[in-house]
Structure 1
């Protein structure tokens, strides 16, 4: 079982590396790891398990956050309309995105960052992502608003990018051009 002790923190070199593609079909080990990552995210949202195992709640986890150089991430959350997004993604790739931007009004956080980082993180309001799912089949996800933000955050990890790299250093709370607040 993955716990917070398995998650590398800011400053660890794996968080700044561009990850390697996972060979397709994925190995049993890769599928098992991705299932464990998804289980961690689900457990972190379960109050009892989170307290028992001292898990910080999260909505996503990328392999580099475990010090693993592979293009894999897991997400598990509900959007404001109650739609569940629960995916293990292998080699996710953004194939199209909107010009319109979106940002979380409360800012973003990260399981690998143990401090509060203030500021708006501009992201694409809509993205289409292609990936291989846990079943080994290709997935095509059309995501908007919160769902798009979460998946872009995880894909950034696969490219060695941290969420705060997007924050305007001059004015962290500057409203990004052509954007809307989400959440």
Structure 2
């Protein structure tokens, strides 16, 4: 019986050692966090950006918005290289330092609230929102009437980088009470 107990203790000890070794393995596990009042006045939501990969140049990056209770509201995933240069890294791409990744993650997490009333008007008689906009190309999943109703309600909204030159803006849909993308825009 003692031999069986000793074998079990040794096996558990070996498991703990391999888990500890895995957590100390080289790689790019970094994160940044930013609080923002978006979904509920007086109860800050949290934006967390993370990287994970064998190196920072090969890192997958995530953007997660959580409510004040810690429930996930929205997630977005991409790659560090696609978010900073577009596409996949070319052969021989330079290494990305921890400091470069930390700067990227902190900037990505640092969203601020705006209001849907600040979005461009989708003029009546125009086929698409982009044809109404003057600076950027805008896209929305909504029909004109729904988009204009959401814009007129002047709802709190956050916008975050979704690619090198692309942004997505989220608001909480008054009907479903769930975050939804109202527009995506870029050059």
Give the number of the structure with larger relative contact order, counting CA–CA contacts within 8 Å between residues 6 or more apart.
1
Pair member with larger Rg: 2
The TM-score normalised by the length of structure 1 is 0.28
The TM-score normalised by the length of structure 2 is 0.28
Bigger strand share:
2
